[in-house]
Chain A
Amino acid sequence: MRNYAIALLDDRIEAGLHGNLLMKSAEIILGTVVLLTLAAVAAFVLSHQKKLSNRLMSFLLCALAASSLAALLGTGFQQFTYVTPAPFLLGVFPMSFRLDGLSRLFVGLLSLILFSAGLFSTGYLKHLEGRISSGLYWTTFLLFSLSMFGVVLSGDAITFIVMWEIMSLSSAALVGSDHSHHLVQKSALIYLSATRIASGLLCGGFLWMHSLCGSWSFVDWNFGTAQAIFPALLILIGFCIKAGIWPFHIWLPYAYPAAPATVSAVMSGFMSKISIYGLIRILVQGGLYAPEIINLAFFLGAISAFWGVLFALVQNDLKRLLAYSSIENIGLILLALAIALKARAANLPIVADIAMTAAVFHCLNHGLVKSLLFLCAGAVDSQAHTRDLHKLGGLAKKMPWTMACFFLGSFSMCSIPPLNGFASKWLIYQSLFQSAMLNVSYIERGIALATICLLSAVGALAIATFVKAMGVGFLGTSRSTMAEHAQEASAGMRASQSLLVVMCAGLGVFASSAVKFISQLSLLSRDSAASTAVDFPLSIPLLTGLLVVTCLIVYLLFLESSKVRIFKTWDCGFGALSTKTQASSDSFAQPLARIFRPFLRYETNSTIKGRDRRHFPEEITVEVKIVSILESRIYLPSLAVISLGAKGLAKLQAGSIHLYLIYVCSTLVILLLVGTAL
């Protein structure tokens, strides 16, 4: 053990000797990090002046994001490892950070999201006055963001797991920050438990790999060997839990709605991608070939893509809907990863490159879009004081800017050209198409075709989901007075939304260069030498231009000059329509939900009251019930088993001293038996 510690000491010193200019910049980043932590504490100290601390902290957050972006650009494209010098140590381990193509991409994404979250915060936190303690919120938020930087930059397993745990803990604290509601507490605890289980599995996998490869740094880990299957499985499951892949997604629809919008934006936008990052960094770049694992990942990804969007369709809480849709997208990303691995195993480098690019590109896109959508939802929540689609509606006139941002985000989620969602979706389709064409085994071809079919169904469902969100949430007339009195969001909030919208549109229109950039990082392997550029043949800019121009022409030709008369919506001559006559979110989703009844456990019970009910109903109530099978059939029972076991064990502590003495004696007997056995 001593040698262990000493060895660590030695290689730390060695690493210290190999310092170069890049490390200087890294030290600068480290410095800012420390400084910001101090600032967070400061915020905590002056937390009683809410306004000031909010301003200061959101500024600091933006500063952090900007500085990290600057550091990214500053360090150019070379990759380097940085091992912390003596004082910055994890007890006995040096922290080792690694900056390369992959982490660069994710750091960039994180910085963007954090920047917009910071912009958003000042305006948003107003409506949480008195419900959350801003000092605590900001401290944990900064801790959260710093730890996420740490995770994507970490070069070895220990740094990774440390940062990972800090991230989980701080995010759980953030989820629970509005802890006066009971539901919020419950959600935070569910999330905390899920994430702890995930990290437990990860620890298991890491320890196992360490005992196999004798090293903590990811670079030395090789998953090609036969006995590396089990650690690979542990790691895969761990990451799946954290990412909210079916069937481990239970925590997600609780956590995201419960958290403040900024937090859920960051969590869904980036934290769920961190699992993907981990999968790429550890399993993909570790050279995983085991078909069992790959097929498992493929299967899980496909299922969660479908399951997520299906449940998103029938949600009535705006943020819950978004949460489920991020399950869908993470599923898509995992699916793409699995396709890449399959293709690599089947020796189809082109397909593998396409799929890999698709996965990473979709990470970026979904990160941006989903944080945009969550921010918009937050804006709606802060202005209309509800997220329930049954109470929303008619916001189009109240908050047009937010509506525009939300619509564009939703289009991108429906992967409609020319927005970025389409580009990455196209890549996934393309990879499947190619493997259906090129793959040697006919079974694989069939699977690819079936997956294409599934994906198109998922796409159509996504359209249904987001049309519902847009139409019921923003169009028509307000369904409640709260929505009636909504105001447009503050300038900062709008600015952050628009920033993200611009990013999405940009990534969509100039997808081809983005794709080239990503594919040249050649993320499939550790050595960035073997890089083959994936080409993106669609001329999206032309298409966009064409669409815009045609729209303008058509508008000018036809509608611009036409005489318009404003009248009320046609009411079949019954007189003024009540807002209840509009389609509610349930009724909009009903035909589709009916088709998928068996999956959703979809039940509608309607009761009609009044004498002669058929002709003169006095009261009609229709309620829709959806039961999540997993939760009711699997998770709750297993929880019950655990708590039952705990109760049973607690019976041992019965309070009688005679019993206790008997334990002592029986333990003695057992020990003697064991001793004789050994």
Chain B
Amino acid sequence: MNGAELHLLRSCSHWVLFALSVVFVPPLCLGIIRKTKARLQNRIGPPLFQPLFDILKLCRKGETLSSTMSGTFRISTVVVFATMLVLAWMTPWLCFKPWSPNADLFLIVYLFALARVFTLLGALDSGSAFGAFGASREVTLGLLVEPALLLGLVALGIFCGSSDLRLVFAYSPLQSTGVSGAPGIWLLVGVSILLSSLVELSRMPVDDPTTHLELTMVHEAMVLEASGRNLALIEFAHALRMSILFGLSAQCFVHAAAAVWRMSPLTQGILNIAGIGLIAISVGVLESLSVKLQWRKVPEFVAYVVSMSLLAALVAAGSGVTKL
């Protein structure tokens, strides 16, 4: 069969793979984390796809809305979910991706912001104190983490000479072997994205998603009023967000590795997926080992993240090739 068909087949397979991973990777991540934690607590734990089953179960339920709610609540759920899908399509969190438009890093960050704003509005719509608690904390975390995430991506952008993440991640390691500190930058950014994703997703050590002491919760408190399909959408969007961020950092690690040992795109792809799994496991481990930080200590934790990405950015700016 000729090149055109091959190419067509290729892109079709990309689409299929992509669709599959969008559907299955997020719940799988959650599942892996839970499984790891259960294992470390010497429990069998739920099956890996339990989160998916939960979501399906929720989809079959009806929803209960508060009488104080305006339309904002439901709209916000929809918008958050849709944004996450779009983000999943645009962000190069998997290295096998179909065609997507310019995935400018600033655009990506601000699409995340869009999702966040709507989550917050949804939380505030019910007029419940918990929602407001969660919202005001979420906003605080957002302030702390956004610079870290942005700077990490900017570092990559500067290093690869473009703010378009497609180009950044298509940036072949072969080019970068010449440049000093290439693996270092990838590694630093990977770590900082991972840590900031922990904050962004309000997981340990910033927040314990499994506790039900509302006064300490962030994400759980915001979705307190959601139920049924609403909740299903929110949960899935959350999981998707998680997998996107994990995917990004996994990509970074892969590139870091690729900057040292050369490897074929296929291996890269496999490593990418495996990386996400590994990250999930390590998060599970972390969550079962560490304790939740005191709320006032969170900024100090985040400070490490920011400094890490700032370091990466500075290195990149220092070593980045000056194109005039």
List residues of A whose CB falls within 8 A of some B CB.
393-394, 396-397, 400, 403, 407, 411, 414-417, 422, 425-426, 429-430, 433, 436-438, 440, 442, 445-446, 448-449, 452-453, 456-457, 459-461, 463-464, 467, 470-472, 475-477, 537-539, 542-543, 546-547, 550-551, 554-555, 558-559, 562-570, 577, 579, 581-583, 587-592, 595
Task: Report if B101 contacts A (CB, 8 A).
Answer: yes
Residue from A470, A562, A566 within 8 A of B67 (CB atoms): A566
A460 to chain B: closest residue by CB: B143
Q: For residue A407, which residues in chain B have a CB less than 8 angstroms away from its CB?
A: 121
Contact, CB under 8 Å: A475 / B67: no
Docked complex Cα distance between A422 and B111 (Å): 10
Q: For residue B147, which residues in chain A have a CB less than 8 angstroms away from its CB?
A: 453, 456-457, 460
Provided the pairs A475-B124, A565-B64, A569-B68 are in contact, do residues A440 and B140 lie with their beta carbons within 8 angstroms? Answer: no
Docked complex Cα distance between A429 and B147 (Å): 13
User: Distance (Å) between the CB of A438 and the closest chain B CB?
Assistant: 6
Contact, CB under 8 Å: B323 / A569: no
Contact, CB under 8 Å: B146 / A459: yes
Residue from A416, A417, A559, A583 within 8 A of B136 (CB atoms): A583
Provided the pairs A417-B107, A437-B320 are in contact, do residues A590 and B136 lie with their beta carbons within 8 angstroms? Answer: yes
Task: Report if B126 contacts A (CB, 8 A).
Answer: yes
Q: For residue A393, which residues in chain B have a CB less than 8 angstroms away from its CB?
A: 127
Contact, CB under 8 Å: B137 / A475: no
User: Distance (Å) between the CB of B164 and the closest chain A CB?
Assistant: 7
Task: Report if B120 contacts A (CB, 8 A).
Answer: yes
B108 to chain A: closest residue by CB: A417
Contact, CB under 8 Å: B150 / A456: yes
Q: For residue B59, which residues in chain A have a CB less than 8 angstroms away from its CB?
A: 558
Task: Report if B37 contacts A (CB, 8 A).
Answer: no
User: Distance (Å) between the CB of B297 and the closest chain A CB?
Assistant: 12
Q: What 0/1 pattern do residues 17 to 52 of B give for CB contact below 8 A with A?
A: 000000000000000000000000000000000000
Contact, CB under 8 Å: B139 / A464: yes
Contact, CB under 8 Å: A564 / B139: no
Q: Which of B68, B135, B136, B157 has the most CB of A within 10 A?
A: B68
Q: Name the 3 nearest CB pairs between A and B, nearest first.
A: A583-B132, A476-B127, A563-B62
Main secondary structure of the interface of A (DSSP, over half): helix
Q: What 0/1 pattern do residues 120 to 159 of B give for CB contact below 8 A with A?
A: 1100111111101101110110110011001100100110
Q: For residue B104, which residues in chain A have a CB less than 8 angstroms away from its CB?
A: 426, 537-538
Q: A394-B127, A396-B125, A442-B317 are in contact. List 9 more A-B contacts (CB 8 A).
A: A414-B113, A433-B158, A449-B317, A463-B113, A472-B124, A565-B62, A581-B128, A582-B127, A595-B299
Stretch at the interface among B179-187, B205-213, B229-237: B229-237
Docked complex Cα distance between A640 and B120 (Å): 46
B160 to chain A: closest residue by CB: A437
Contact, CB under 8 Å: B322 / A554: no
Contact, CB under 8 Å: A453 / B151: yes
Docked complex Cα distance between A178 and B215 (Å): 45
Contact, CB under 8 Å: A588 / B82: no
Q: For residue B64, which residues in chain A have a CB less than 8 angstroms away from its CB?
A: 564-567
What are 19 sample pairs from A and B whose C-beta atoms fall under 8 A apart?
A: A414-B117, A417-B111, A417-B114, A445-B317, A453-B306, A460-B146, A471-B125, A475-B124, A476-B126, A537-B164, A538-B101, A539-B102, A543-B86, A554-B85, A566-B65, A570-B128, A570-B225, A583-B124, A583-B133
Contact, CB under 8 Å: B228 / A456: no
A589 to chain B: closest residue by CB: B136
Contact, CB under 8 Å: B121 / A471: yes
Task: Report if B83 contacts A (CB, 8 A).
Answer: yes
User: Distance (Å) between the CB of B45 and the closest chain A CB?
Assistant: 29
Contact, CB under 8 Å: A550 / B66: no
User: Distance (Å) between the CB of A651 and the closest chain B CB?
Assistant: 54
Q: For residue B146, which residues in chain A have a CB less than 8 angstroms away from its CB?
A: 456-457, 459-460
Q: For residue B320, which residues in chain A have a CB less than 8 angstroms away from its CB?
A: 437
Docked complex Cα distance between A644 and B177 (Å): 70
User: Distance (Å) between the CB of A406 and the closest chain B CB?
Assistant: 12
Q: For residue B140, which residues in chain A have a CB less than 8 angstroms away from its CB?
A: 464, 591-592, 595
Residue from A400, A429, A563 within 8 A of B70 (CB atoms): A400
Docked complex Cα distance between A436 and B72 (Å): 40
Q: For residue B125, which residues in chain A have a CB less than 8 angstroms away from its CB?
A: 396, 471, 475-476
B128 to chain A: closest residue by CB: A569
Docked complex Cα distance between A170 and B136 (Å): 41
Docked complex Cα distance between A587 and B225 (Å): 20
Task: Report if B251 contacts A (CB, 8 A).
Answer: no
Task: Report if B313 contacts A (CB, 8 A).
Answer: yes
Residue from B70, B83, B136, B323 within 8 A of A591 (CB atoms): B136
Stretch at the interface among B73-81, B255-263, B273-281, B282-290: B73-81
